[in-house]
Amino acid sequence: MKIDVLYFAWVRERIGLPREKVETQAETVADLIAELCAREERYAYAFADLPALRVALDQELADFAAPLAGVREVAFFPPMTGG
């Protein structure tokens, strides 16, 4: 399946791009992260400290164990600092 993967804030800066299409068979968010980290150093660097990251599936906050079946958009970012 093809998924849109988005990166924000310092995750975006470490990976070096705001979004990309990823062809993957990953079953969960954690699987997808493992696939990305295996690809290139900059992904491993961005995902080095998972507790410092948040993930949203189709624009809803989720956790790393969440399944990707049916998901079109995955976003990774640090804890939010709005307000």
Partner 1 sequence: MQLVVQEDRFDIGRETEGFIAGLAGAGAVVTFIGLVRDNGGRLSAMEIEHYPGMTERAIAAIMEEAKARWSLADAMVIHRHGRLGPDEPIMMVATAAIHRADAFAAAEFLMDYLKSRAPFWKKEIGADGTEWVAAKDSDEAALTRW
Which residues, in sequence order, are bridge partners of residue 23?
2
Long-range Cβ pairs for the range 69-73 (8 Å, 24+): 69/27, 71/3, 72/3, 72/4, 73/3, 73/4, 73/5, 73/6
Nearer to partner 1, 27 or 63 (CB): 63
Nearer to partner 1, 20 or 27 (CB): 20
Q: Which two tokens stand for residue 28?
A: 């969960």
Q: Which helix (H) or strand (E) holds 53?
A: none
Binding site for partner 1 (CB under 8 A): 6, 8-10, 12, 56, 59-61, 75, 77-83
Q: How far is the CB of 25 from partner 1 (least distance, A)?
A: 25
Q: How far is the CB of 38 from partner 1 (least distance, A)?
A: 26
Q: How far is the CB of 34 from partner 1 (least distance, A)?
A: 24
Nearer to partner 1, 12 or 42 (CB): 12
